[in-house]
Amino acid sequence: MENPIRSIESWVQFLSEKEIPVMRQTARAMAEARERIGDVNAREISAIALRDPLMTVRILRFTLRHRGKRNLQDITTVEHAVMMLGIEPFFNHFAQLDAAEDQLKPHPQALLGLLHVVRRAQRAARYAADWAIWRRDLNSEEVAVAAILHDLAEELMWCFAPQQALQILAMQKAAPTMRSADAQAAVLGFPLIDLQLALCMKWQLPELLLSLINDAHSEQGRVRNVKLAVDLARHSAHGWDNPALPDDYLAIEALMNIDRATLMLRLGLGPVDESDASAKKTSGE
């Protein structure tokens, strides 16, 4: 972008006018599902979408804009959204899905940035859903949706403002101790969470999802579930030696009321001693 946008309101308008792409794997999976339209169901479509934050928000945004006047109930899950639309109308609307990989072909570094954030979101959603089920949450998919959408604004910046996204990344690499929000504010004039909440309100996403995404409400159990899943995915993105991880583990243990050994097993890290947990180099997936 040659003329950087400075106000949140202008960014919201700019991003709201864009057709959000999806990941190429999502587009392929949706095309394959459409070939089996007589056998596919809303749950299967939801499972595909919940691997892609961009597809997830596209579905929710479209459904909320087009729900009937009689349907005033908030739509907080992808499965509910697809059921409300109907399988055939869903595939008719989402027949053409542009791939983010194609859009960012001229910006290979930005594509790498997007892929990194999407992979992190996928892991956060898996952690959040697993913990929600363990905590007997009545709707674990709501928690998973909130986790995968938690860093949506960052993904949209990689898609539609790659130069600014790269500036933020360069600033953080130059000063590793700098908080993400501070780097974002230095480049954009505000932290991305403020843009994200403004976008969610503009797009009329349900109040429940807004509260689950907003870390300011982390005293609530479900919000804390989302926040800790996002934190763990972020801090372990490059390995399990990040100095923030011990604090993450303690907080997750308190949330789930489990001990360290149980947590390590649930994370796929195996029965390791606390003293050498930070040295464990495994994907945890």
Residue-level pLDDT at 4:
64
- Is there a domain that residue 250 lies in? no
Closest by CA to 64, choosing from 205, 197, 207, is: 205
- Is there a domain that residue 152 lies in? no
- Is there a domain that residue 84 lies in? yes
- Is there a domain that residue 22 lies in? yes
- Is there a domain that residue 260 lies in? no
Residue-level pLDDT at 72:
46
C-alpha span between 61 and 176 (Å, rounded): 35
For the whole model, what pTM was predicted? 0.88
Q: How many structural domains is the chain composed of?
A: 1
Residue-level pLDDT at 278:
44
C-alpha span between 78 and 45 (Å, rounded): 8
Q: What is the mean pLDDT of residues 48-77?
A: 83
Residue-level pLDDT at 151:
94
Of the pLDDT bands very low, low, confident and very high (cuts 50, 70, 90), residue 98 is very high
- Is there a domain that residue 85 lies in? yes
- Is there a domain that residue 281 lies in? no
* Structural domain of 19: 10-100
pLDDT tens column, 154-202 = 999 999 999 999 999 999 999 988 889 999 999 999 999 999 999 999 9
**What does the mean pLDDT of the chain come to?**
89
- Is there a domain that residue 83 lies in? yes
Contact 74, 208 (CB under 8 A): yes
Burial track 112-143 (b if 16+ CB lie within 10 A, e otherwise): ebbbebbebbbbbbbbbbbbbebeebeebbbb
